Amino acid sequence: MSAHPLVLPSACLRAGIALLFVLGALAARPAGGRAQIACGQTITENTLLSADLACPPELEAALVIGASNITLDLGGHTLSGHTPTYGVLAVGVEGFTIQNGALDGFHYGVFLINTRRVSAAHLTVRNMEISDTGQLITGLHILHSQEVSVRDSLFEFLVVPHKEAVEIYDSTVEVSGIEVRSGGAGVSFSFAGGACDPVNAPSNGVVRGSTFRDTYTTAIWVACTSRAVIEGNNFASAPASGIGVQADAPFLGAVTGLEVKNNVLHDAMIGVELRGVTQSSITNNLIFGNQIWGIAVRPSLGCLAPEPGWLCADSTANRIAGNQTWQNIMDLYHAETSVGNTWEGNTCLVSQGAEIPACAAPRQALFINYASGQPGSFFRLQGANFPKNSTAAIAVNGWALGSAASDAQGDLAFILDTAQAGAGSYRVTAAAGAGSAAAFELGAGRLFHAQDGQAPVFVLPGGLFNHQVYLPVLARSP
């Protein structure tokens, strides 16, 4: 998470834009063959990279996009460089696609300014060298841009602050099927130039079906939005410091229309935290095993630790409903001043706050580590609150696979091997007592997932898929 809104150094921004006009005029060859690309080149046609390309530190940008409606296909190769440099810089273009390869070692992997209809897909963006907490490293930096899609990509950094996967400033972005491994933050909905304008220049969009692991501060941070949806993701942030979803408004009304729904948030410091947020909702999530709060509704940072430009605001007019929380130190919490919120239908064991009614006990739940993957991937499923020391019948799309045993706490785990399975949608059920279910999707363009941990493995046979897409990726008993 960025501690402050973006303020771009004017010299850096001017230099970045000037690259479109002053870098070498060599255009890439047409996409009929693999082009010979040079570091620092301006790309003006469809381009397919022919080999790995390592760029020197003196360049401002490794590649510059100089035309609209073109594709940069990395061809499965790696574009590498150094900090502080851009990997791919695009300013003022439309209809640009970057896909199918790796961006390694840059200050900014992809930097977009004033773009529209941009697709970033099937990328691996990493920097495993920079551990300096004062050095910002960003996978995709998106500024003043609309209709941007980021999907089926992997972001990997060291577990230190200020290493962020996707930063969104005054832009509309859809993120789906990504995996963020470590770093400081996953996705940030923030604001540029020191001023949040949620009416005229919000950071809006969707984060769906993605996995966030071991992020040091916040997997998803929201600071300026009128419409953001966070749905069907799996969060396991760093236990000692990480937060799954944190929304923090610099003033009352800066964060509205936020929906956090159908996610799994576990084994971090806090599951979901709203600070100074209004007219938003947290619904139908599974939240467990966090070291402080499962769900917290509190005043803004401007109240808790005043900073210049951040005003004090209480969270109000929010709806927190249908969530299952268990084994957090405090499952549900709202501060005394954050009143006027609606809490209903949540399960919990421990809560604090006059507005929170008595909770029912947690119900059975089955959850999965990835919402999607390539055929051949492994998926780890875990169950909680099942009958203790019993067995659950496991089936996929109605096909019986076997049984999994629950332990003395009612937890169970098993792994699906999809090496024989085809593309399509799959629904997994674990039947014991009331039973529970989860879902995932296989597709050739999805990320591949290796086996995660040890548990009984079931091989999923071919021919079981169906074409119905199941959302969310988790389900619970009635």
Query: Is residue 248 one of the residues assigned to a domain?
Result: no
Whether the pLDDT of residue 85 is over 50: the answer is yes
Please check whether residues 90 and 209 belong to one and the same domain. yes
Whether the pLDDT of residue 182 is over 50: the answer is yes
Amino acid letter at 89?
A: L
The single-letter DSSP state of residue 50 is -
**This model's pTM is above 0.75:** yes
Range of the domain at 459: 365-476
Task: Note the pLDDT of residue 11.
Answer: 36
Distance, in Å, from the CA atom of 62 to the CA atom of 109, rounded to the nearest integer, reads: 10
Max Cα separation, the chain? 70
The single-letter DSSP state of residue 165 is E
Q: Does 56 sit behind a cis peptide bond, omega within 30 degrees of 0 on the bond before it? A: no
Distance, in Å, from the CA atom of 414 to the CA atom of 412, rounded to the nearest integer, reads: 7
The single-letter DSSP state of residue 49 is B
For the chain, counts of helices (H) and of strands (E): 2, 44
Task: Note the pLDDT of residue 35.
Answer: 56
Query: Is residue 249 one of the residues assigned to a domain?
Result: no
Please check whether residues 74 and 163 belong to one and the same domain. yes
Amino acid letter at 253?
A: G
pLDDT bin (cut points 50, 70, 90) of residue 193 is: confident
Please check whether residues 182 and 49 belong to one and the same domain. yes
- Average pLDDT of the chain, as a whole number: 90
- Write out the DSSP string of 395-411: EETTEEEEEEE--TTS-
Residues in the chain: 478
Residue that has been written with the tokens 């080149």 in this structure:
41
Question: What does the pLDDT look like over 435-465, one tens digit per residue?
Answer: 899 999 999 999 999 999 999 999 999 888 6
Selection from 91, 100, 114, 111 nearest residue 46 by Cα: 100
- The structure tokens listed for 370 are 């990835």
Q: How many CA atoms lie within 13 A of 100 on its CB side?
A: 14
Selection from 256, 207, 202, 201 nearest residue 229 by Cα: 207
The single-letter DSSP state of residue 183 is S
Task: Note the pLDDT of residue 433.
Answer: 79
Task: Note the pLDDT of residue 144.
Answer: 97
Please check whether residues 35 and 178 belong to one and the same domain. yes
pLDDT bin (cut points 50, 70, 90) of residue 24 is: very low
Out of 96-110, 142-156, 184-198, pick the least confident. 184-198
Whether the pLDDT of residue 5 is over 70: the answer is no
Query: Is residue 87 one of the residues assigned to a domain?
Result: yes
Please check whether residues 115 and 225 belong to one and the same domain. yes
Please check whether residues 282 and 374 belong to one and the same domain. no
Report in angstroms the alpha-carbon separations of 289 from 231, 269, 384.
20, 9, 11
Q: Does 57 sit behind a cis peptide bond, omega within 30 degrees of 0 on the bond before it? A: no
Query: Is residue 61 one of the residues assigned to a domain?
Result: yes
Distance, in Å, from the CA atom of 428 to the CA atom of 246, rounded to the nearest integer, reads: 30
Percent of the chain with pLDDT over 90: 84
Distance, in Å, from the CA atom of 80 to the CA atom of 64, rounded to the nearest integer, reads: 14
Q: What is the average per-residue pLDDT within 415-433? A: 95
End residue of a domain, out of 327, 346, 362:
362
Report in angstroms the alpha-carbon separations of 400 from 180, 427, 450.
33, 12, 23
Query: Is residue 288 one of the residues assigned to a domain?
Result: yes
3-state secondary structure of 13: helix
**Where does residue 149 rank: exposed (0-12), middle (13-18), buried (19+ CB within 10 A)?**
middle
Residue 464: strand pairing partners: none
Please check whether residues 203 and 272 belong to one and the same domain. no
Which residues, in sequence order, are CB contacts of 15 under 8 Å at separation 6+? 60
Task: Note the pLDDT of residue 23.
Answer: 37
3-state secondary structure of 226: coil
Q: What is the average per-residue pLDDT within 257-274? A: 97
Residue that has been written with the tokens 């996409």 in this structure:
31
3-state secondary structure of 311: coil
Query: Is residue 257 one of the residues assigned to a domain?
Result: no
End residue of a domain, out of 311, 331, 362:
362
Query: Is residue 80 one of the residues assigned to a domain?
Result: yes
Please check whether residues 69 and 203 belong to one and the same domain. yes
Task: Note the pLDDT of residue 467.
Answer: 42
Task: Note the pLDDT of residue 389.
Answer: 96
Question: Distance from CA of residue 319 to its chain's centroid?
Answer: 22
How many domains does the chain divide into? 3
In 160-262, beta strands by DSSP E: 163-169, 172-176, 179-181, 185-190, 204-208, 211-213, 218-222, 228-231, 234-236, 243-248, 258-261
Distance, in Å, from the CA atom of 429 to the CA atom of 381, rounded to the nearest integer, reads: 10
Q: Which residue has the higher pLDDT, 321 or 308?
A: 321
End residue of a domain, out of 319, 338, 362:
362
Please check whether residues 347 and 374 belong to one and the same domain. no
What CATH number has the domain bearing residue 408?
2.60.40.1930
Distance, in Å, from the CA atom of 346 to the CA atom of 352, rounded to the nearest integer, reads: 13
Please check whether residues 134 and 91 belong to one and the same domain. yes
Sign of CA dihedral 466, 470, 473, 476: negative
Whether the pLDDT of residue 153 is over 60: the answer is yes
Q: What is the average per-residue pLDDT within 184-202? A: 93
Please check whether residues 149 and 70 belong to one and the same domain. yes
Q: What is the average per-residue pLDDT within 155-178? A: 97
Whether the pLDDT of residue 30 is over 60: the answer is no
Please check whether residues 347 and 388 belong to one and the same domain. no
Query: Is residue 310 one of the residues assigned to a domain?
Result: yes
Alpha helices (H) along 132-190: none
Task: Note the pLDDT of residue 6.
Answer: 54
Question: What does the pLDDT look like over 349-380, one tens digit per residue?
Answer: 999 999 999 999 999 999 999 999 999 999 99
Contact 162, 187 (CB under 8 A): no
Sign of CA dihedral 439, 444, 450, 451: positive
